[in-house]
């Protein structure tokens, strides 16, 4: 790493110290690969993971004379994305040809948008968690959201690092070339100071959630369908902004935060040492958490943009745009805050529902009349486990809200306990019938007949006379062993609380 601070003899500057002298400005460029069936300008499949160069045709390979045709679903998707980000939608705009030569791009130009993006001037409020457990809402302004096509994928073989440097040869897969890509560019975000890395992370996380809820992309950072470039510059308070660097290869939310942080530290060290920041792209390395220099950044003129002559302009009908506006779901973080509030759960509990991927199904169970506590308990616990075990999504498990409500009713009137309820759900999920039918068929009712329980208790006490002695001597906690034995004897079909009461009464009687 030729340009690390140590190698240059610069003094390392901690993040906190950097902030005592400099203000960071950040800007984020996020690329989202759309989940359309076909590519941006041809009918090739846009699915991920096929054998290399099997999803290609004369259009996406740019054979002479092949003509592109724009994908309507991609246009619809980007308009919905722009609307979710509070952008204005152009009534007329064109695609532009961006000229550059690189082996991952068969055309030797990329069809993109330049001075006529389809969505402009939006904003997104992001909730940034603070160290003290609170949060701060920061508005990130959106410059533009535009449509373009993805490039192919290069694999550099033979070297130790998988990078082009040191590789013996490179392979190219054009399956990805021509997949619809949306670029979302923020305006410079200022005034966030120490929160800058967390703002960057929260912004990308919120975008990811929005795109997922819109259903326009599977937004997987690890597969590259959501990619982020982080621009960072530093300046002294009151002085003009500094030169920015653009860090690429940021492949996880955590890396977004780390990349901004490490770039602040690096730039502060350079500036402290009297150096200048070059406008360049940099690469983030997951292993070291630092960035290294890439190429010096082209200016727009280098790309010789001009309106794409092979495509007609895009002129979305305002009535259609209004119709699409009606399909935009509530912003994910606002929805979570609202539901957490009505269900009276903590942000942490909400986060665990989201991470488990069950928020939607819990919400629909609650809408169907299941109590929030029961819906959460079953969907984040046993039902999720059963869905995973069967390899199906929770929503595809054959257990309905009515089943959950019925199980809860049986638990509250003492006919079932949690352990039996799990078996009931297993039966329902297996298609053995509804809750009552499974209880009946599998004989899962709680044993409520005191006589049967007392005889099981007497057996257990007789089998463990030392324990019986302890209970008699006042060691009530020892009753646990007898409860366990009775539960075992009844196949879990007893109410443990009731068994405990009966044991204590029985010991006195004996």
Q: If contact means CB under 5 to 8 A according to the sort of partner, which of Zn ion, ligand ADP, Mg ion, none does residue 42 touch?
A: Zn ion
> What gap in Å lies between CA 498 and CA 486, rounded to an integer?
11
Binding residues among 145-164 for ligand ADP as defined by CB under 6 A: none
Cβ proximity to Zn ion, 106 vs 117, nearer residue: 106
> What gap in Å lies between CA 315 and CA 234, rounded to an integer?
40
Cβ proximity to ligand ADP, 229 vs 308, nearer residue: 229
Cβ proximity to Mg ion, 29 vs 432, nearer residue: 29
Nearest to 2 by CA among 275, 10, 15, 289: 10
Burial 352-361 (b: 16+ CB within 10 A, else e): ebeebebbeb
Cβ proximity to ligand ADP, 142 vs 384, nearer residue: 142
Q: In the complex, what is the shortest distance from the CB of residue 300 to ligand ADP, in angstroms, rounded to a whole number?
A: 7
Count of residues touching ligand ADP (by CB under 6 A): 16
- Contact by Cβ (8 Å): 408, 435: no
277 contributes a contact to ligand ADP by CB under 6 A: no
Q: In the complex, what is the shortest distance from the CB of residue 56 to Zn ion, in angstroms, rounded to a whole number?
A: 6
Cβ proximity to Mg ion, 29 vs 363, nearer residue: 29
Q: If contact means CB under 5 to 8 A according to the sort of partner, which of ligand ADP, Zn ion, Mg ion, none does residue 246 touch?
A: ligand ADP
Residues contacting residue 246 through CB under 8 Å, at least 6 positions apart: 29, 229, 230, 231, 280, 281, 282, 297
Q: If contact means CB under 5 to 8 A according to the sort of partner, which of Zn ion, Mg ion, ligand ADP, none does residue 77 touch?
A: none
Residue nearest to ligand ADP (CB): 27
What mask, x for binding ligand ADP by CB under 6 A, covers residues 15 to 54? ----------xxxxx-------------------------
Burial 102-134 (b: 16+ CB within 10 A, else e): eeebbbebbbbbbebbbbbbbebebbbeeeeee
Angle at 244 between CA 241 and CA 245, to 5 degrees: 165
Q: In the complex, what is the shortest distance from the CB of residue 423 to ligand ADP, in angstroms, rounded to a whole number?
A: 55
Residue nearest to Mg ion (CB): 29
Cβ proximity to ligand ADP, 38 vs 113, nearer residue: 113
Binding residues among 16-45 for Mg ion as defined by CB under 5 A: 29
What does the DSSP assignment read for 119-177? Answer: EEEEEEEEEEE-TTS-EEEEEEEEEEEEEEE---EEEEESSSSSSSTT-SEEEEETTST
Count of residues touching Mg ion (by CB under 5 A): 1
């Amino acid at each position: 790493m030729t340009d690390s601070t140590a190698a240059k003899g610069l003094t390392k500057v901690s993040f906190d110290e950097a902030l005592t002298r400099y203000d960071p400005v950040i800007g984020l460029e996020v690329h989202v690969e759309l989940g359309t069936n076909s590519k941006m300008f041809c009918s090739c499949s846009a699915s991920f993971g096929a054998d290399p160069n099997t999803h290609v045709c004369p259009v996406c390979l740019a054979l002479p004379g092949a003509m592109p045709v724009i994908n309507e679903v991609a246009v619809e998707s980007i308009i919905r994305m722009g609307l979710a980000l509070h952008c204005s939608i152009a009534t007329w705009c064109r695609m532009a040809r961006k000229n550059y030569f690189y082996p991952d791009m068969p055309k030797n130009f990329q069809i993109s948008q330049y001075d006529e993006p389809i969505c402009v001037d939006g904003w997104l409020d992001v909730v940034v968690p603070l160290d003290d457990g609170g949060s701060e809402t920061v508005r990130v302004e959106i410059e533009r959201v535009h449509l373009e096509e993805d490039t192919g994928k290069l694999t550099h073989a033979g070297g130790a690092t998988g990078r082009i440097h040191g590789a013996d040869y490179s392979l190219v897969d054009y399956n990805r070339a021509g997949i619809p890509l949306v670029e979302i560019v923020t305006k410079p975000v200022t005034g966030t100071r120490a929160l800058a890395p967390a703002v960057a992370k929260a912004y990308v996380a919120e975008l990811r959630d929005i795109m997922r809820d819109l259903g326009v992309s599977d937004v997987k950072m690890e597969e590259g369908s959501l990619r982020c470039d982080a621009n960072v510059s530093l300046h002294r308070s009151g002085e003009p902004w500094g030169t920015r660097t653009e860090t690429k290869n940021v492949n996880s939310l955590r890396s977004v935060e780390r990349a901004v942080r490490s770039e602040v530290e690096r730039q502060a060290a350079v500036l402290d040492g009297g150096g200048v920041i070059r406008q360049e792209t940099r690469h983030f390395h997951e292993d070291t958490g630092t960035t290294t220099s890439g190429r010096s950044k082209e200016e727009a003129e280098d790309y010789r943009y001009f309106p794409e002559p092979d495509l007609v302009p895009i002129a979305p009908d305002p009535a259609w745009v209004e119709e699409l506006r009606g399909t935009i779901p509530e912003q994910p973080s606002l929805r979570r805050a609202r539901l957490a509030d009505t269900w009276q759960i903590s942000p942490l509990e909400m986060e665990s529902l989201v991470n488990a991927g069950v928020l939607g199904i819990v919400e629909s169970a609650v809408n169907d009349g299941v109590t929030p506590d029961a819906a959460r308990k079953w969907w984040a616990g046993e039902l999720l486990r059963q869905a995973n075990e069967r390899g199906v999504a929770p929503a595809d498990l054959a257990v309905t809200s009515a089943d959950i409500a019925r199980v809860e009713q049986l638990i509250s009137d003492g006919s079932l306990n949690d352990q039996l309820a799990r078996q009931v759900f297993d039966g329902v999920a297996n298609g053995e019938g509804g809750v009552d039918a499974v209880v009946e068929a599998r004989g899962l009712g709680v044993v409520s007949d005191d006589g049967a329980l007392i005889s099981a208790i007497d057996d257990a006490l007789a089998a463990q006379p030392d324990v019986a002695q302890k209970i008699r001597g006042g060691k009530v906690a020892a009753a646990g062993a007898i409860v366990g034995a009775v539960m075992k004897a009844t196949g879990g079909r007893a109410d443990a609380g009731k068994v405990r009461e009966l044991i204590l009464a029985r010991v006195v009687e004996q």
